[in-house]
Every structure is written in C-alpha cells, then in structure tokens.
Structure 1
Amino acid sequence: MRIASFNVNSVKARMANLVDWLRAAGPDVVCLQELKTIEMPTEEVEDAGYNVRYVGQKTYNGVAILAKESIEVEEERLPGEAEDEQARYLQALIGGRLRVASIYLPNGNPIDTEKFPYKLRWMARLRDQAAGLLALEEPLVLAGDYNVCPTDGDCYDPAAFRDDALCQPESRSAFRRLLNLGLTDALMAIDPGPRRYTYWDYQGRALERNNGLRIDHLLLSPQAADLLVDAGVDRAPREKEKPSDHTPVWCELDI
C-alpha cells in the first residue's frame, strides 16, 4: 500500500494536476492539505478511482483523505481545544486495516504574534492525540504538512530562516517530542540523504536551484514502521505548469 501526503495549495486551482498525478502515480491513500475551499469538487477524483472525505474551510486550510479502499472517518478536528474550528485535521480508518490522519499544522509566522503560541499548542494537542492512537498498537500514519524543518539539514539556508517559525527551537523540540513517542519518520528511515526537500518557493528559481524545505512528513507507528518497504519524494507534480509549491512525499507499506 502506497500512502502519500500532498499539500495542493488550493485544490480547485490544482485539480487537473492532482488528477494527472493520481492516474500516473496510483497511490492507494493520499492525504491532502490546504484545500482552501469549503466544498471540494470530488467528481474527477472519484472518476480516477478514489473515495474522498474532507473537511473544508473558506479561503484557508482544509484537509482531505483519498483512498482506493473504504474510508471510515473517526475525527474531523484535532481534539483538545473546543473553540478551535480551523480545518487542519482529518483522521480515518482505511479499508479497516490502516489508520491515517491528514495534518495541516499551523505555520506560526510571524513568531511575535499569537500565531506562534497557537502553533505550539496545536503541536502539543497533536502529541496527545498521537499518544492515544499509539496505545492502540495498530498501523498508523500521521501524514501532512507539519510546517517544521526538523533540522538545519531540512532547510537550504538555515541562516535565512533563523527567525522563521518553521525552524524555531520550540518548533523543533515539539516535533522531537512527537517522534519520541515512538514514531518513525518514513523518508529519513529509507533515504536520510541531504537536500531531500518537499517545498520550493515560487520565487528566485528555487526549484531549479533546489533551494527548498522539508516540511511534509509521514510519521509511522511502530506497527507501520515494521511494514515499511520504501519511501521517497515525487518531484513530478512540482515541475508541472502552475504547480503547488509543495510536492508529494510517499511511503510504501507491506500491508
């Protein structure tokens, strides 16, 4: 089973590219982020062979799960802060055998505003949710745009991002606390080489120069990590006309 995470940066604007990629790459499960719409158009995705579940939000955020098998939704918001209505988390059981969550973690910039404490609170809530899911001792993939570069090696120019929320010590510490629950970073387990990015800015020929960031991650429970066969980054969608600024990261499980 191939599981992918893809921040599409407006699903309506990228629908043609998304469907082309689905047909070409054929992932079994896809977690989408940044839909930027209340109502996601689903007909073309369904015609490509996928079931669709999503939670949308006008102009911002929005997450979805696509799967060739059945999707049983379990959570449509991240628990822990009842007043938080942002559409950033969707959790489901796929085919009765794999639990996944599509995650769009807050960016947190500028760091001198309320946006950064909100990011850290959200990460603490995600850790609590992950701890509960790990207690089930079942295959689990927490997939999404985490808006965190875990190390300086995940950023093409650490000095330039010193004041960015993606690279703050507090953000990285919160990400480590999540991993320390027993989660495995799928891409790093398979291909820990340098400059393996998932995001490139539209400006300054960033893609051509490989001036990118690794902020999209697939975190696996021990039961899923035991089944890990392969993982990688698919740059093809980023190289298309009018692409998202992200590209899919994927892993393959023998499940």
Structure 2
Amino acid sequence: MQIATWNVNSLNVRLEHVLAWLEKHPVDALALQETKLTDDKFPRDAIREAGYETVFTGQKTYNGVALLTKTPAEDIAYALPGFEDDHKRVIAATVNGVRVIGVYCPNGQALDSPKFEYKLAWFEALASWLNTELQNHDKLVLTGDFNIAPRPEDTYDPERWEGRILCSPPERAALQTLLDAGLADCWRLFDEREGRHRFTWWDYRNGGWARNAGLRIDHVLATPALVDVCRECKAHVGERGRKRPSDHVPVVAEFDV
C-alpha cells in the first residue's frame, strides 16, 4: 500500500500536475493540502475519471485538504474535535483498514506573532485527538505539510534556520509530542539523502529551487504496525522542476499491508 502527501498550493492551478503524477504513480491514497477551493469547486469528476474517490473540505483562497483514494474511504472526519477553527486543515478516513489522517499544519508566521500561539495550540489539539485515534487504530498514518523541519539537517542552512520559525524549539517539541504518542517518522527509517533529495519544499523567492535552498517539512508518520512493514519513503523531487510547480513535492511511503 502506497500512501502519499502533497501540498499542491492550489489544486485549481495544479490539477493537471496531480493527474499526470497519479497516472505515473498510482498510489493507494494521496493526501492533498492547500487545495484553496470551496467544496462546490472541487474537481471531483476529473479525479474520478483518473480512478480515484475523493473526500475533501475546503475554503476559498486559503487552506483546504483532501484525500484521494482508489477505494472508498470510510469513517471520515473533517476537523479537530473540540477545537474551534474556521480553517480547513484536517481530513481523516479509513482506507483498506489503514487510518489515514491528512493535515495542513499552521505556519505560525513569526515567533512573536499571534499566529505562532495559534500554531502551538493547534498542535496541542492535534496531539489530544491523535491519542484517541491511536486507541482505535493500530494501523495509522499521519501525513501532510507540518510546517516544521524536525532536525537541523532537514534545512539547507542549519545555522541560518536554527531557532527561527519552522525550526524553533517549541515547534520541534510539538512535533516530538506526536512521535512520543507512538508514531515514527518514516523518512528516517532509510539512508540519509543528498542534494535535492534531502528536502520537500523550496521557496519560490530568491531562487530557492535553483540554489537547492530547501527544507523537509512534509512528513509521513506511522504507527509501529506500519513502521515494521515500511519499505520506502521518498520525495518525488522532479515535480518541483516542472513549469508552474507547487513549492512542495509529493512524499510517498510504501507499506507491505
């Protein structure tokens, strides 16, 4: 079973990219972030023609998440229970016996911003809900754009990024809370990458892609039952080099289930 995540930074702009990628890489489940579409505009028919069912929750201009699955999704959830939030950042469903949770985590903007406090509160709510989900599902994947680089080596310039937004101790502690709950970072199960293959995001500004000024902020976290059968986890970095690309690339994990 292959489970993928991709922040497409506007599905309206990147739909053809997604369809072309799925034709080459027919994963079992694909979690999308930043679809930036209201639900009435979601391209359900085009995706169905490509062989995928869809569940989604979106809003205009910002946020928006979706799950594309080869088989119908069950037991769908669209938000963090008990956390009042108008932002569409969470979607979850059970696919072939695996609980798949797709998230678009807040960016936080700056360490002294109210958005940073919102980010930490949001992660706290996610951790609380995750504990409940883990009690009900031994096979669970939490995946998406986390807007956190876990380690210094997950940035192109550790000295520059250390302590800044996306790399601050409170953010990394929030991510570690999810790992401590019983998940593992599938990326770290395999050999260290070199060059572009170390990262999943490159800024549009200042020639980020050309300079390989990237970060690893898109993750696939899994329970022990899936970690034990994880055969691969990698970024499809070639998508960043396409015309009008997203600033993120797909990350795919493969499990023998």
Offset, 1:161: 2.8
Q: Which residue of 2 aligns with 1:59?
A: 61
- The AA in structure 2 aligned to 1:127 is A
Q: Which residue of 2 aligns with 1:200?
A: 202
- The AA in structure 2 aligned to 1:241 is K
Corresponding position: 1:213 with 2:192: no
Deviations 1:193-246 (A, max 9, x none): 455100001133322332100000000011111221111111122111000000
Q: Answer yes or no: is the 8 Å Cα contact 1:234–1:249 preserved in 2.
A: yes
Q: Where in structure 1 are there 5+ consecutive unaligned residues?
A: none
Q: Answer yes or no: is the 8 Å Cα contact 2:152–2:162 preserved in 1.
A: no
Corresponding position: 1:246 with 2:248: yes
Where do 1:47-196 residues align within 5 Å? Answer: 47-81=49-83, 83-95=84-96, 97-162=97-162, 164-193=164-193, 196=198
- The AA in structure 2 aligned to 1:246 is H
Identity %: 40
Q: Where in structure 2 are there 5+ consecutive unaligned residues?
A: none
Tell me which moved more, 58-67 or 129-138. 129-138
CA–CA distance in structure 2, aligned partners of residues 129 and 165 of structure 1:
24
TM-score, structure 2 as length reference: 0.94
Q: Answer yes or no: is the 8 Å Cα contact 1:73–1:90 preserved in 2.
A: no
Deviations 1:149-176 (A, max 9, x none): 1111111123333463201110001111
CA–CA distance in structure 1, aligned partners of residues 115 and 159 of structure 2:
22
CA–CA distance in structure 2, aligned partners of residues 45 and 112 of structure 1:
41
- The AA in structure 2 aligned to 1:228 is C
Deviations 1:39-89 (A, max 9, x none): 3112221111100110001110000000101111431001231x2121000
CA–CA distance in structure 2, aligned partners of residues 111 and 37 of structure 1:
29
Offset, 1:37: 1.3
CA–CA distance in structure 2, aligned partners of residues 143 and 208 of structure 1:
27
Tell me which moved more, 174-183 or 142-151. 174-183
CA–CA distance in structure 2, aligned partners of residues 137 and 226 of structure 1:
15
CA–CA distance in structure 2, aligned partners of residues 117 and 194 of structure 1:
34
Give the secondary-structure state (helix, strand or coil) at the position aligned to 1:135.
helix
TM-score, structure 1 as length reference: 0.95
- The AA in structure 2 aligned to 1:213 is L
Give the secondary-structure state (helix, strand or coil) at the position aligned to 1:129.
helix
- The AA in structure 1 aligned to 2:201 is Y
CA–CA distance in structure 1, aligned partners of residues 113 and 206 of structure 2:
28
Tell me which moved more, 157-166 or 129-138. 157-166
Q: Which residue of 1 aligns with 2:239?
A: 237
CA–CA distance in structure 2, aligned partners of residues 73 and 216 of structure 1:
24
Q: Which residue of 1 aligns with 2:19?
A: 19
Q: Answer yes or no: is the 8 Å Cα contact 2:8–2:246 preserved in 1.
A: yes
Tell me which moved more, 175-184 or 1-10. 175-184
- The AA in structure 1 aligned to 2:60 is K
